[in-house]
Amino acid sequence: MLSTKTIQDCIIWACEQEVSAPKPGNVNGIRGGHNMQVDDFIKSAHAIAPALTVTNTSVGHRILNAIQATQTVVNCNTNLGIVLLFAPLCLSIERCSHFDELQSELEGVLKELSIQDAEDGYKAIRLAHAGGLGKVDNQDINDTPTITLLQAMNDAKNRDSIAAQYLNNYNDIFQLGLPKLTDAIICGERVEWATTFAYLCLLSNIPDTLIGRKQGQTEAKRVSNKALYFIDKINKSNELKDYSAELDLWDKELKRDAINPGTTADLTATTLLLRAFQQAFTSKRISI
């Protein structure tokens, strides 16, 4: 089993790699955006690692603690989606002797989610001041939930890709994100470009739900199509970094128009966390 310190190192590594990668539209190693900077995300990563790894605590408790910890170091929402996705994985990985057990353990953790987990999760979401959530008639985020966190995610799955992961046992990340990241690394891409490749693959396959909620489904689909444009180019035996100038221009355009594929960034960070767990089991250290 992985030690608490190793799991914390995996969390920090995944968050740092995600924010450093030149992913168009997100805060990245080239430039900030959306009133946030790279350092905000680095501080947040170090804040959430201990909060997400307190043993013998529930998923909801970890989510709430992590967002409370984040609020002590930044005054913006840097990581709500990351925390919502990381918390079940951190509890699950504590039960694993091998990486291959993780998705099975995760399924059990998600089925165990309680109404108290939902209450803690709702408190965390309100504390983070998440944008673009809108108002729903049943189990609204501003109300006290009367259903489990898994049931709440089921209600939200069609409008939020993070919620959908709770229902599909993170299949988008295990079956799409992680294999694409791994393939890029095997082909010789440096981790920052491999991360961007995984991000573009996720974005091209799954229209970003943060964009969908804020700018509409037509815009979300347009951004996905642009990501697919880059994937098609890469598939013609070119390296992603060969298109760095074009990706940088798209990054500027998205930020100019306040378009942030933030949900995709959260899925990408979670892909990196899986990679870190996998490598930690293999070599007892985090590496690409």
| Model confidence pLDDT, tens digit, residues 121-174 | 999 999 998 754 455 556 667 788 999 999 999 999 999 999 999 999 999 999
- Cβ-contact 103, 12 below 8 angstroms: no
**CA separation for the pair 81, 255 (Å, rounded):** 19
Structure tokens of 275?
């990679």
At 41 the pLDDT is: 95
Residue 150 CB contacts under 8 Å (≥ 6 apart), including other chains = 110, 111, 113, 166, 167
At 237 the pLDDT is: 66
Classify domain 4-179+266-283 at the CATH topology level: Triphosphoribosyl-dephospho-CoA protein (1.10.4200)
At 58 the pLDDT is: 98
At 236 the pLDDT is: 72
Cβ count near 222 (within 10 Å)? 14
Domain ranges for the chain, please list them. 4-179+266-283
Whole-prediction pTM value?
0.94
**CA separation for the pair 72, 52 (Å, rounded):** 15
- Cβ-contact 207, 245 below 8 angstroms: no
The alpha-carbon radius of gyration of the chain (Å, integer) is 18
User: Residue 241's pLDDT band (boundaries 50, 70, 90)?
Assistant: confident
